[in-house]
Structure 1
Amino acid sequence: MAVSGGGDSVALLHLTHAWSVANGRSLAVLHVDHGLNPDSRVWKDRVRDLANRLGAGFQSARWEGPHPDTGLPAAARAARHARLAEMARAVGARVILTGHTADDVAEGQWLQAEGSTLGHLRDWSPSPVWPEGRGLMLLRPLLGERRADLRDWLEAMGADWVEDPANADLRYGRSRARQALGRDERPAVSRHDRPLRADGISVDQWGVIAMPRDVSPRTLAFGLVVAGGGVRLPHGDRLARLGERMSAGENFVAGLVGARLIADARGLTLVREAGDYRRRGEPVVGLIPGIEAVWDGRFALMVDEPGWRVVSLAGRAARLGREDRAIVTALPAAVRPGLPVLIRDDETGPVLAQSGARVEALTACRLALGLGQVEHEADLKCRREWRTDGRAPIL
């Protein structure tokens, strides 16, 4: 559970502790010190002491910066989620609970009305950071509760909490939203979002996504992000133009957010855009034996021996061995450049990654999480691992 020390997270911590005791579950308290307030280390110690009193494990991490001059709340939010994900993975957790309330939902809606691109809160959603948050979900059990009611409950039980002065700093949009809404605003909260449509969507063993042409803009946007291995959503105007072309029955090829969209009579095909490597630089990851590394946001790899790094196949297909070349030749041309291959430090190679490493394709699982197809903690074991015999992935 993520605990800042504020009233919302402290209330949820007490509730979660009671639930964990009743259900025989271990509880890990995760705290991120943003380093933005002189008292932040004191707040960390208070959370640690509370976790110790409750018999819960405690993990903390500090955001050392650099802290940007503009966009500080967004940067702090991204840093917080990245560190929460790292700590959760370290303790073996798959779900992180957070103390967001109905007031947070209302404030988010107010900010969106003012032009913010901040996403809406859901009670059950994937970690927003990638690849640190792979396989992790966020659970927000208090979205139907009011902030003031939680503090009244804490006061009645004699518990205390931290009040962050930044919450009243009108330089920040969230604080302005709180002031504008006031205590009596009662937002309408949808506790359960309807999953995005997944009918007709498939992912093959190489991470290629197929979708019908009438897919919703939100689903297409997330599919493009997943196919490109990144986190940045496409601009709304570009997405709207794509929708118009698809509705008109046009066949075309377009590149967005690191992905290539191929629209033809069969539907939509989403693959990695090789041209993005030339524009932004090719991802190169050195591999450490026994340590999982994520390459290009789309594959997790682990090797048993030193001396390997992973790069893209783009521009290297002619140097593959005969067996690897036969596998690649059988694939659609658009798929080939974005495949991971291994090169040794002495520049020998390349070999297809699954020929020398254990490889987990992340696309299918990430897409399922983002489209709301995973509804329970027990369903988070969706691994897509390539066989070590260098032939085909297991789906």
Structure 2
Amino acid sequence: MPDAVIDAARQFLRSFTKPSRVLVAVSGGSDSKGLLLALHSALGAAEYEGFSLAACTVDHALRTESASEAEAVASFSAELGIPHRIARWEGEKPATGIQAAARNKRYELLAAAAEALGADCIVTGHTLDDQRETIAMRGLRDAGGGHGAAGMAASMLYGRRIWVLRPFLDLRRADIRSFLEGRGVGWLEDPSNANPEFERVRVRARLATSDNVPGPSPGGRQRAASSARSAALIEKHIRVHDALVAEVSSRQAGDIDDPDWRRALLTVATALGGRDHLPARATVERLAGFLRSAEPGRLTAGRVVIDRRSGVLYLYREARNLPLLEIGPGEKGVWDGRFTVTSKGPALTVTAAPAPGERRMQRLIDAGLPMGVAKRASLVAPHIVTADATLEEASAEVECRIAPYDTFLPGFDRIMADAIAVLFGRDRYRAPPVRDVLTEMEG
């Protein structure tokens, strides 16, 4: 259905709240090349006045052919009159986890290219086929109440900086290829897409033998609704003190069989632990058993102490395996996954507090926390001195980091992410440039 490709491009452009400059991530494969061509064709209509395109190809430098392939995409973009940039992954590559590392580097380079080319957002050519594979893979390891069934979000905020949009998630790859063939345009085939060492390739092969024809999944809308319910529970039942301690009544905490409350509590705990992902299924089951009990006690899960006393549950980072961070003059670094520290002067060293940190502990006590909780929490706060330790406290800007969302924030989680940001004393995340599932819910 070649017309469906142009229709999807037009529908996507109509979803913008205002005309924008769009950076298309183009690898040279059929999906991204079809996306670039479809958007270029759609922008010929007068109703899209004020829009413009730019393109970027990330050369991961993992194959000898990658440089010439990137140049071929640059030539194709030039034929369309679209500014193009090649971003190359320089330096050594990891021996393991190469696909995850390549994904992280790709978004980092795309964000830099978007800034250089003056783009308001990035678009990628992910398709319904990719979505189907993603849902299958996440279903094998989902521990968060089945939310992996949502798959990829149509919008994703990268690094709190720029939105990445996926306008082709309801299109099949076969339709995009028919669209390209109808215009006499070829594409590149990445050999890694046939390498069975990668999980996605194995899942793709298994799904290819299925009689199931993929259709658009309602999972994104369902997850957005869950995000809204979780956000309401967070705002009503959880308090966070100094970005160090979460406080919730034991009675509410014990409602762990409510999937939205479980998701809310686990996500706050994950942020307190400086972890990017929620705990694994076995850890969640162990934690749930503890929370259903009414007895006082402590449990550690995902680097977080769950401390129950006198009808109140407190959560805070455990005082183990706290790192040392050294940053140069004017540089920025992340400490323990929980705080971003920017030097405002000389080189700095960031550690855990070597002493109880009386001022911070007193603030926690004044907020009504028990002495023991306040003492333990103050011991896992960042302690910052100049590199030569000549000052008790160095000149630095410290901001709490919400690890589950500060690098990759799926659009359907933004309501809950905003609630957590406010809880930790942070500004809300920036809104996407398009009307989406979340925008419709807010309206």
Query: Which TM-score applies when normalising by structure 2?
Result: 0.68
Question: How far did residue 310 of structure 1 move?
Answer: 3.9
Alignment of 1:229 with 2:274, yes or no, is yes
Matched positions, count: 364
Give the aligned partner of residue 375 of structure 2. 333
Tell me which residue corresponds to 2:35: 12
Q: Are 1:49 and 2:68 counterparts?
A: no
Q: Structure 2: how far apart are the matches of 1:159 and 1:200?
A: 51
Alignment of 1:191-340 (within 5 A): 191-192=220-221, 193-194=223-224, 195-196=226-227, 197-201=230-234, 202=238, 204=240, 206-208=242-244, 209-210=246-247, 212-213=252-253, 214=255, 216=259, 217-264=262-309, 268-277=313-322, 282-289=323-330, 291-305=331-345, 307-317=346-356, 325-331=358-364, 332-340=374-382
Give a deviation string over 1:203-239, Cα, whole Å, max 9, x none.
6462244565135444444333322223254221011
1:338 alignment partner, SS class: coil
Shifted more, 71-80 versus 101-110: the winner is 71-80
Structure 1 alignment gaps of length 5 or more: 128-132, 319-324, 387-392
Cα offset for 1:245? 1.6
Q: What secondary structure sits across from 1:347 in the alignment?
A: coil
SS at match of 1:244: helix
How many angstroms does 1:240 deviate by? 0.9
Distance in structure 2 (CA, Å) of the matches to 1:270 and 1:86: 37
Indicate the residue corresponding to 1:151 in structure 2.
Answer: 177
In structure 1, what is the equivalent of residue 166 of structure 2?
140
- Cα separation, partners in 2 of 1:206 and 1:116, compared to 1, 3 Å: closer
Letter in 2 for 1:301: V
Q: Which residue is equivalent to 1:348?
A: 390
| Aligned-partner residue type, residue 293 of structure 2 | A
Q: Does the CA contact (< 8 Å) of 1:32 and 1:63 recur in 2?
A: no
CA distance in 2 between partners of 1:82 and 1:140 (Å) = 17
**What does the per-residue CA deviation read over 1:354-381, in whole Å, with 9 as the maximum and x for residues that have no partner?**
xx23333333994895694537xxx9xx
Q: Distance in 1 between matches of 2:232 and 2:154?
A: 23
Indicate if the aligned counterparts of 1:274 and 1:314 stay in contact, CA closer than 8 A.
no
Using a 3 Å threshold, how does the CA distance of structure 1 residues 239 and 136 change in structure 2: closer, same or farther?
A: farther
Structure-1 separation of matches of 2:276 and 2:167: 25
Instruction: Give runs of aligned pairs for residues 3-82 of structure 1, distance below 5 A.
Output: 3-17=26-40, 22=48, 24-25=50-51, 27-52=53-78, 53-62=80-89, 64-68=91-95, 71-82=97-108
Residues 185-214 of structure 1 deviation map (CA, whole Å, 9 limit, x = unaligned): 422423533343122325646224456513
Q: What is the CA–CA distance in structure 1 between the aligned matches of 2:139 and 2:277, rounded to whole Å? A: 21
Higher relative contact order (CA 8 A, sep 6+): 2
Please identify, of 46-55 and 335-344, the stretch whose mean Cα deviation from structure 2 is larger.
46-55
Greater helix proportion: 2
Q: Percent identity?
A: 29
Q: Superposition pairs for residues 78-227 of structure 1, below 5 Å?
A: 78-85=104-111, 87-88=113-114, 95-112=121-138, 120-127=151-158, 133-182=159-208, 185-188=212-215, 189-190=217-218, 191-192=220-221, 193-194=223-224, 195-196=226-227, 197-201=230-234, 202=238, 204=240, 206-208=242-244, 209-210=246-247, 212-213=252-253, 214=255, 216=259, 217-227=262-272
